[in-house]
């Protein structure tokens, strides 16, 4: 099944009421590790792409300013229930993260947690939101990827027919998404499900 914004709005309207109480807990260790690697500092501005129900928001350190973007109004409604957060200034914006929704070169850091395998065009999402990073800025990615040198088997293709119905693609390679993105890999480590999920820290190359 081809993933589309229309389908994602529908499926994440169904996910919104139950996400935090179900898969939200499963993903929490990966989110925490991503935040550790990003190591946000007081006064920094961070962009959360695909903020969803706001599961990352309570993990933000005090003293940062954050913008969270998501396509689903239902997921964003859940995120708003988590606000305000003491010591953190958070703004939420509905929109399509395949297009830049904020000013270029205006953020110190970007968080791509569980979005690049969900959005229809993961490469466009990565490329567009990296434009929001200042030169030398950093981004963290927590998501599931097929290894760059891994073979896409028939079984995985078959399973992907089912997984896309639930709003996620299990056939994407990060290397494919990141081609020409102008980033340097700083750290890449295995996370959940024996490394099927990974946590990566990258840095935007200075022009």
pLDDT at 134: 96
pLDDT at 184: 96
Q: How far apart are CA 48 and CA 149, in angstroms?
A: 29
Half-sphere exposure of 42 (CA within 13 A, CB side): 3
pLDDT at 153: 83
pLDDT tops 70 at residue 1? no
Tens digits of per-residue pLDDT, 75-86? 999 999 999 999
What is residue 192's three-state secondary structure? helix
pLDDT at 189: 97
Where is 37: in which H helix or E strand?
helix 23-38
Q: How far apart are CA 61 and CA 86, in angstroms?
A: 10
pLDDT tops 70 at residue 52? yes
Give the mean pLDDT of the chain. 94
Average the pLDDT over 60-71 and give the result.
98
Average the pLDDT over 62-87 and give the result.
97
Cβ atoms of residues 102 and 92 within 8 Å: no
Q: 31: closest CA among 52, 3, 2, 12?
A: 52
pLDDT at 207: 64
25 φ, ψ to 5°?
A: -70, -35
Q: Which residue bears the tokens 């109004």?
A: 73
User: In order of start, what are the domains of the chain with their CATH numbers?
Assistant: 5-204 (3.40.50.150)
pLDDT tops 80 at residue 169? yes
What DSSP state is assigned to residue 2?
-
Tens digits of per-residue pLDDT, 130-168? 999 999 999 999 999 999 888 888 888 888 777 887 888
Pick 123 or 167 by higher pLDDT: 123
Cβ atoms of residues 126 and 181 within 8 Å: yes
Please give the full DSSP string across 57-125, using - where no structure is assigned: GGGSPTT-EEEEEES-HHHHHHHHTT--BTTBEEEEEES-TTS--S-TT-EEEEEEES-TTTSS-HHHH
pLDDT tops 70 at residue 51? yes
What is residue 194's three-state secondary structure? helix
pLDDT at 107: 98
Please give the full DSSP string across 124-170, using - where no structure is assigned: HHHHHHHTTEEEEEEEEEEEE---TT----HHHHHHHHHHHHTT--S
Cβ atoms of residues 87 and 66 within 8 Å: no
Cβ atoms of residues 51 and 76 within 8 Å: yes
């Amino acid at each position: 099944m081809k993933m589309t914004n229309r389908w994602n709005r529908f499926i994440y309207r169904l996910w919104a009421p139950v996400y935090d109480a179900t898969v939200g807990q499963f993903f929490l260790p990966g989110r925490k590790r991503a935040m550790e690697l990003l190591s946000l500092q007081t006064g920094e501005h961070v962009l959360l792409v695909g903020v969803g129900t706001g599961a990352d928001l309570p993990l933000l350190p005090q003293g940062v300013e954050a913008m969270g973007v998501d396509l689903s109004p239902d997921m964003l409604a859940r995120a708003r229930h988590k606000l305000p957060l003491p010591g953190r200034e958070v703004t939420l914006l509905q929109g399509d993260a395949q297009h830049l929704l904020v000013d270029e070169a205006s953020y110190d850091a970007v968080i791509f947690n569980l979005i690049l395998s969900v959005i229809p065009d993961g490469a466009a999402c990565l490329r567009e939101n990296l434009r929001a990073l200042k030169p030398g800025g950093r981004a963290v990615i927590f998501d599931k990827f097929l290894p760059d040198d891994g073979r896409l088997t028939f079984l995985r293709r078959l399973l992907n027919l089912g997984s896309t119905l639930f709003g996620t693609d299990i056939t994407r390679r990060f290397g494919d998404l990141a081609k020409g993105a102008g980033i340097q890999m700083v750290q890449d480590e295995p996370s959940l499900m024996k490394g099927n999920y990974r946590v990566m820290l990258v840095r935007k190359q200075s022009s």
